[in-house]
Amino acid sequence: MNRLRFCVWEDKLMDEQTKVAIRCIEKRCKNVRCGGVRVRSKETVAVIRLLERGVFDALALPYSEAKKYLDEYPNSVMLGARIRNVDDRYVLMTRKKSGKHFSNALVSVPKGNIGSQLQELFDGVTCLETGERLEERVEKLLSEKCDGIMVKASDAINAGFNKIRGIRYKYFDTDTFVSASSDDVIVVLCRNDSSVVESIKDADNKRVSRQMAVEKAVLRYMADNNLSSNCHISARSNMEKDRLAIKIYVNKDGYGRYFKVNGEYRDRENMIETVGKEIQSYILKSNVF
């Protein structure tokens, strides 16, 4: 029986994300049981040092946050498993007493394209990008320091903020708000030890892994062809066998456009280049540049 020790932060949302990863691993991996080691500091350097010293074996993070660990400490951490979040949608949380009409409002949004996409749906909305923790953003909403907050539905559910009294919830499907679906994935980072990665390999979601690879490759293609140097781009894909559906949102100077590419691609080697060229054609025709 292998025992895997997870880093557990004193943060409600991150604690719940770790529990999601642990449940998945214990369900899919035979002879693996997981425990937790409470860690107070969330500083990247401190966490890496504890991981290297063997205080714990793994940590669970959204891929959007895990990327900095993989980029900055490639010799210390390895990507062990990719686990899909329970809900990929976004939800707009507002106070019920503010009424149903939502305009001329200040909304706290995560960094990226979400703010500009929200402004296309509601007139007069001002979006404030923030890197604050979810608890801090919810507190600002309740104390009337902002009129609404835009969060991932999975984060609200995991942190227990999806049923707050006096709060109205408006959920948007993934066709309305486009963000890289790979950013929503909970991933397990392990100490640079092949035996640890091997023990949880059955927890790795192959479909999620394939979608992450597609999105990353398409965005890299667009960057290599100077398509993302002067605008913000998000991509969300859905891939089944040789069929690929990918939706792109491009924003430049507050002007946004959506593009959807659907097709059947038999030649996997040329699939990414083909899709990239189609997207390039759509973007150039839209006069975004």
CA pair distance 133, 256, nearest whole angstrom: 27
Residue 108 has what pLDDT? Answer: 87
Residue 141 has what pLDDT? Answer: 92
CB 77 within 8 A of CB 51: yes
Domains 2-84+185-203 and 90-172 share a fold: yes
User: Is the pLDDT higher at 32 or at 278?
Assistant: 32
pLDDT digits (tens, 9 = 90+) for 211-255: 777 677 667 776 776 665 555 556 666 656 666 667 666 666 556
Residue 252 has what pLDDT? Answer: 61
Residue 139 has what pLDDT? Answer: 92
Domain 2-84+185-203 in this protein, CATH class? alpha beta
Interacting residues of 55 by C-beta distance below 8 A, sequence separation 6+: 5, 37, 39
User: Is the pLDDT higher at 263 or at 168?
Assistant: 168
Mean pLDDT for the chain? 78
For the cut 80, the answer to whether the pLDDT of residue 42 exceeds it is no
- CATH homologous superfamily of 210-285 equals Porphobilinogen deaminase, C-terminal domain (3.30.160.40)
User: Is the pLDDT higher at 79 or at 86?
Assistant: 79
CA 159, 163, 164, 170 torsion: positive or negative?
A: positive
CB 272 within 8 A of CB 221: yes
**Nearest CA among 109, 107, 64, 112 for reference residue 256:** 112
Question: What are the extents of the domains in the chain?
Answer: 2-84+185-203, 90-172, 210-285
CA 131, 132, 137, 143 torsion: positive or negative?
A: negative
Among 73-82, 223-232, 233-242, 273-282, the range with the most confident prediction by mean pLDDT is 73-82
Look up the pTM and report it: 0.69
CB 231 within 8 A of CB 95: no
| CB-neighbour burial class of residue 185 (10 A; exposed 0-12, middle 13-18, buried 19+) | buried
Helix (H, G, I), strand (E, B) or coil at 70: helix
Structure tokens at 272: 């990414």
- CATH homologous superfamily of 90-172 equals Periplasmic binding protein-like II (3.40.190.10)
CA pair distance 34, 234, nearest whole angstrom: 35
Strand partners, 287: none
Q: Of all residues in the chain, what percent carry a pLDDT higher than 90?
A: 8
**Nearest CA among 283, 289, 58, 275 for reference residue 186:** 58
| 289: confidence class by pLDDT, cuts 50, 70, 90 | very low
For the cut 80, the answer to whether the pLDDT of residue 144 exceeds it is yes
| 25: confidence class by pLDDT, cuts 50, 70, 90 | very high
CB 107 within 8 A of CB 149: yes
